[in-house]
Amino acid sequence: MPRLPRGGGGAPAILRRAVRPVRAGWDEARRALLARVRPGSPAGRLLYRLLCEDFTREQQAVLAGIRRYRDEVRTEARNQALLRRRIHMLEKGLAMRPRRAVFALDYIAETVDAYALRHAHVAAEARRRGDETAPVPPAAGRAGGEAGSEGPPASRAPASHMPAPATRAAPPHRAATGGGRAGGEAAGVDDTLIWAHDVLARTFAACAPHPVFAQQEVRFAALPPPPRGAGPHEGTPAAADHSTAGRTRDAAAPRIPYARDLAEPPPVAYADLLALARRRRSVRWFRPEPVPRALFERALAVAAQSPSACNRQPFVFRVFDDAAMVRAVADTAMGTRGYAHNVPMIAVLVGQQRHFFDARDRHLVYIDGALAAMALVLALETLGLASCLVNWPDIEAREAALAALIGLEADERPVMLIAIGHPDPDGLVPFSAKKAPGDLLRYG
């Protein structure tokens, strides 16, 4: 049965009012019927497909993401998903106890393929910007399999390819990533490429001799080491924050698995973290002054440290601070009525399915994105800013409206909206009594 019209768009108000009760009645009848079906039964699955189109847009996004992954991952260096996933897997192999003498045989060639592609892209971008010191990579033949295979087919790099590791390596520095960005590939320096280079070099040095590795070592060694930059953390908007954290930030330090220095206590005490969590509330009333972009970028540097499956970080924060655009974006959501007019900045957390070769990972855009969003809003609180995480329900008309407004691509899904601003000291916030920890806990 076709879905009843959702209204909206340019429909007159009287038509929307007429459609609303009909739509609500149909939706309730549909839900009541589906609730009576035995889950997992053939009849239930058939009925669900006939009566429910709620997952259509997600299915389309997943299919578009898989298609884009297969089209781009071996030809478009801006799609770093394969490289980041494989380098993450190599790091897990290096950190394993006991470490296997040889590992990654089935994907080491694919990893070098992805590294060479990224290397060529970064060098070309640097030369385009006029950086005469950018390395010119030699032609390197590919040894990988079919595009998007994520598997077979398929090294040991000279010591000069990687800085000598210290007895206890400094924590690797990771940059905030994004699309039209505040940091990243400045002056030919690319954090992903440096990380990939160092992990590959360490892998080749650590594994026992093997003909597959020997072949890939030759290809890897033919590529000049990537530029590392002179700063404490190239590409991160909040580099000053890293240098004041009491930790060594040496651009020349290898970005490989390391033993954390646990001699000192964590820099934030539990009581302070709990107090920060309790201070953070969903704020809907803001002062009118604009939010400095530099403050948001500092908060994003914290969000970028959030855990992400295979370190792919399959999301981007689309940030708007033009008053008219902020209002237009806020009005697409259901939960902003009554306060959208006083929001000075709004971020749309957008998940990108292009990072995944299979539908099995489709939920990671929501999981990884939510982890980053929580870190972001806590960081905003420390910077004197407040926020409100705005729920984004999967409603076709609103999805289409937001996609058209901000130019979402076929594989992109909104995860949530985040209203941001300086809090109005006179504005009230809901008490929002939380469940007791015991109500959220079950052992076994």
- Phi, psi angles (nearest 5°) of residue 315: -155, 165
CATH for the stretch 270-421: 3.40.109.10
pLDDT at position 34 is: 73
Whether residue 413 contacts residue 61, with contact meaning beta carbons closer than 8 Å, is answered with yes
Q: Over the stretch 55-92, which tens digit does the pLDDT of each residue have?
A: 888 999 999 999 999 988 777 777 799 999 999 999 99
Boundaries of every domain in the chain: 13-53, 73-243, 270-421
Least confident of 18-22, 193-197, 344-348: 18-22
What's the rounded Cα separation, in Å, for the pair 147 and 110?
A: 10
- Omega of the bond leading into 153 within 30 degrees of 0 (cis): yes
Helix axes 108-128, 211-221, angle to 10 degrees: 0
Helix (H, G, I), strand (E, B) or coil at 389: strand
Distance from chain centroid for Cα 390: 18
Closest CA to 183 of 122, 234, 248, 107: 234
Instruction: State how far the alpha carbon of 273 is from the alpha carbons of 220, 382, 422, in Å.
Output: 44, 11, 21
Give yes or no for a contact between 200 and 276, defined as CB atoms under 8 angstroms apart.
Answer: no
Confidence of residue 341 (pLDDT cuts 50, 70, 90): very high
Most confident of 43-52, 55-64, 76-85, 292-301: 292-301
Confidence (pLDDT) at 316: 98
Of all helices (H) and strands (E), which one includes residue 318?
Answer: strand 315-320
- Report residue 55: phi and psi, to 5°: -100, 10
Averaged confidence pLDDT in the chain: 83
Instruction: Read off the pLDDT band of 138 (50, 70, 90).
Output: low
Q: Are 249 and 301 in contact (CB under 8 A)?
A: no
What are the b/e assignments for 210-232, b being 16+ CB within 10 Å?
bebbebbbebbbebebbbbbebb
Asked if pLDDT for residue 248 goes beyond 70, the answer is no
> CB-based contacts of 153: which residues, under 8 Å, 6+ apart?
106, 109, 110, 143, 144, 145
DSSP secondary structure string for all residues of 45-76: HHHHHHH--TTHHHHHHHHHHHHHHHHHTTT-
Phi/psi of residue 29, nearest 5 degrees: -65, -40
The residues with which 345 forms a beta bridge, in sequence order, are 420
Assess contact for 319 and 290: CB atoms under 8 A.
Answer: no
| Proportion of the chain in helix, strand, coil states, percent, rounded to 5 | 45, 5, 50
Lowest mean pLDDT segment, chosen from 25-39, 139-153, 185-199, 336-350? 139-153
Give, in order, the Cα–Cα distances in Å from 215 to each of 51, 88, 154.
55, 21, 9
More confident residue, 350 or 241: 350
What percentage of the chain reaches a pLDDT higher than 90?
62
Q: Strand 345-352 vs strand 412-421: parallel, antiparallel, or unpaired?
A: antiparallel
Q: Could you identify the residue written with the tokens 């930790």?
A: 247
Considering only 152-166, 334-348, 369-383, 423-437, which range has the smallest mean pLDDT?
152-166
